[in-house]
Structure 1
Amino acid sequence: MSLYNPNRVNPQRPKRIALVIANPATSSSTGWPVGFWWSEVTHPYYVLTEAGYEVTFFSPDGGACVADALSDPNDASGYSRHDLISQGFLHTPELLARIANTTPVQDLVSADYDALLVAGGQAPMFNFANAHALQQQFAAFHAAGKVVAALCHGVALLAFTQTTTGEYLASGKTITGFSNQEEDQADQAAWHYGWLPSGQSIMPWRIETRLQEIGANFVHAGAWQSYAVRDGNLITGQQNFSGEATARLMIEALGR
């Protein structure tokens, strides 16, 4: 049941968003446990719920989802210590309980939702290739004219999502996502801190390269800049600093 929100235009039928989080995985390139990225869930959640939308959490397999450690503002690395929105989410037990019990994507009834948003993290690079129900839902939402969005490594989904005619949904579309420049810098940081041997890549493949290969017009705003782009009812966000920008384009597309 939703709490009262004075920003809601139509409290009898608020817009509803299905927010998909990656299930835990193990990196085939590093052996690390990988998952979703906190700010790519919490920042869109904050913007969308402040606008009066209802957000339900899904994952390809359902059940508990686990975040990448560096995305936790309380992680010893201090990498995300500035992320006060995620800190607030992490200190709200009822929200954490929803992350611990996500609904399987196969149970998503598209008629009940106005938009579908796929968050990123490292896990999508390893388990979205086999997330067939999610690929089908994303394509079906898009074909129905509903708003679909993907953020950061969640854009990996578009490397596999096809239309009913067998074409890649991303072909001919202008999109963004985690760029090759950012992958290079992430690898260099891993080498600098001794997390990986020099020359070894964190990711087994790259979103920018793969999507260009299937005919997408891939754009970005430079490394680590907040950036999102809309092509019709398809919205994509560049990386973990682009959650708010992605959500605001969704609001623009959906209307209040």
Structure 2
Amino acid sequence: MKSKFVFRVLFSFVVCSFAQAEIRNTLITPRGKALIILSSQAQLGSSEHKTGVWLPDATHPYFALLNAGFETDFASPKGGAVPIELRSDPRNMNAMNADDAITLGFVSNPRTLEKLNNTLKLSDVQAKNYSTVIFVGGLAAMYDLPNDPDLPRLFKEFWTQNKIVGAIGYGTYALLKMKTPSGRDLIRGAEMSAISKEEEQKMAQLMGWDVALLAPKGFLQDLIKKEGAGYKSGPAFTSFVHEGVQKHFISAQQSFSGMELGLRVAKLLTGKPLKPVVPKTEKFIKPRSASFKQPVN
């Protein structure tokens, strides 16, 4: 009974905080606009398992940016309503984040919920209208974001305009093969974070799934290394955010890092303008030797 009372108090506080943030956002001089890119994928590949956006990955950065005075739009490959991973929705009795008052406040507010039901279509989005872009995670992101035809164009616009590019958890899949306007691989030689191998294994156990459903092409941590990047992380299921590529590229480990990611982005946006990116030595690239060879039986 006591826990229910505490939750209700916390929920009321978060709802009030959302309202206050929205009021402040209308009263202060607008600091700019942010773009959060979501997935339109509704199932895990060709399996029968339903999936969608992992809500905290989107709601926590959104709240942090809103509270800092940034208006935020949501966009997705198909536009319109995006599918939601039910286990990330605290309204669902089987949610893994039932005590996530921030996300519950978001989905309980008709104004913010409408943003998820009416996302912009990526083909209609232009980087010049935004100060930053964040690629949101959830298993769905590994399927449609890497192959979306509009993302390379949009990414190059943000990069050319010296704007911050962020990613959280599985949202990093969108950037694994992304190239800069000069044709250089974005993450090659850089350092970045994303969901760890340990976390993917534990998530599979919690969901009762074969780990291959979460990592059909291998663990994301390993894929990042294979692309020539240095992988950074904190302890499992804790907040960890890494600022790389001269602070133009900010990556967060998983949904527990969403609030910190939003706060870091907001702080950089309100500080000194970022300098143009100057390519550095690709120190994480391994020689073409044993690192990519298959074991010999």
TM-score, structure 2 length as denominator? 0.78
Which consecutive aligned stretches of 4+ in structure 1 deviate over 3 angstroms post-superposition? 6-9
- Amino acid in the other structure paired with 1:180: K
Residue 107 in structure 1 maps to residue 124 in structure 2: yes
Residue 238 in structure 1 maps to residue 253 in structure 2: yes
Report the equivalent of 1:203.
215
Find the partner of 1:49 among 66, 73, 80.
66
Shift in alpha-carbon separation, 1:6–1:184, aligned structure 2, 3 A: closer
Report the equivalent of 2:4.
none
Deviations, residues 108-133 of structure 1 (Å, cap 9, x unaligned): 12111111111111101111221131
Shift in alpha-carbon separation, 1:43–1:3, aligned structure 2, 3 A: closer
Give SS of 1:27's match.
coil
Deviation (angstroms), 1:201: 4.2
Q: For the residues of structure 2 that align with 1:178 and 1:3, how far apart are their CA atoms?
A: 31
Q: For the residues of structure 2 that align with 1:253 and 1:172, how far apart are their CA atoms?
A: 23
Q: For the residues of structure 2 that align with 1:242 and 1:177, how far apart are their CA atoms?
A: 10
- Amino acid in the other structure paired with 2:44: S
Number of equivalences: 248
Deviation (angstroms), 1:200: 4.6
Report the equivalent of 1:138.
155
Deviations, residues 91-114 of structure 1 (Å, cap 9, x unaligned): 111211221111111211211111
- Amino acid in the other structure paired with 1:133: D
Find the partner of 1:5 among 24, 36, 59.
24
Q: Greater RCO between the two (CA within 8 Å, min separation 6)?
A: 1
Cα pair 1:24 1:33 within 8 Å, conserved = no
Q: For the residues of structure 2 that align with 1:85 and 1:58, how far apart are their CA atoms?
A: 21
Shift in alpha-carbon separation, 1:109–1:29, aligned structure 2, 3 A: closer
Q: Where does 1:86-105 land on structure 2 (aligned, <5 Å)? A: 86-105=103-122
Residue 153 in structure 1 maps to residue 170 in structure 2: yes
Give SS of 1:25's match.
coil
Give SS of 1:64's match.
coil
Unmatched runs of 5 consecutive residues or more in structure 2 = 1-20, 272-297
Report the equivalent of 1:223.
236
Shift in alpha-carbon separation, 1:254–1:121, aligned structure 2, 3 A: same
Deviations, residues 185-215 of structure 1 (Å, cap 9, x unaligned): 112323xxxx335x65433122211111111
Report the equivalent of 1:76.
93
Cα pair 2:169 2:253 within 8 Å, conserved = yes
Shift in alpha-carbon separation, 1:237–1:37, aligned structure 2, 3 A: same
Deviations, residues 163-201 of structure 1 (Å, cap 9, x unaligned): 2343321111111011111111112323xxxx335x654
Deviation (angstroms), 1:29: 6.8
Report the equivalent of 1:186.
203
Unmatched runs of 5 consecutive residues or more in structure 1 = none
TM-score, structure 1 length as denominator? 0.89
Deviations, residues 55-102 of structure 1 (Å, cap 9, x unaligned): 011112211102111101122224111100111111111211221111
- Amino acid in the other structure paired with 1:233: H
Shift in alpha-carbon separation, 1:6–1:240, aligned structure 2, 3 A: closer
Cα pair 2:41 2:141 within 8 Å, conserved = no
Q: For the residues of structure 1 that align with 2:189 and 2:137, how far apart are their CA atoms?
A: 22
Q: For the residues of structure 2 that align with 1:137 and 1:6, how far apart are their CA atoms?
A: 26
Q: For the residues of structure 2 that align with 1:25 and 1:161, how far apart are their CA atoms?
A: 23
Shift in alpha-carbon separation, 1:136–1:179, aligned structure 2, 3 A: farther
Cα pair 1:139 1:161 within 8 Å, conserved = no
Q: Which has the higher helix share?
A: 2
- Amino acid in the other structure paired with 1:127: D
Report the equivalent of 1:35.
52
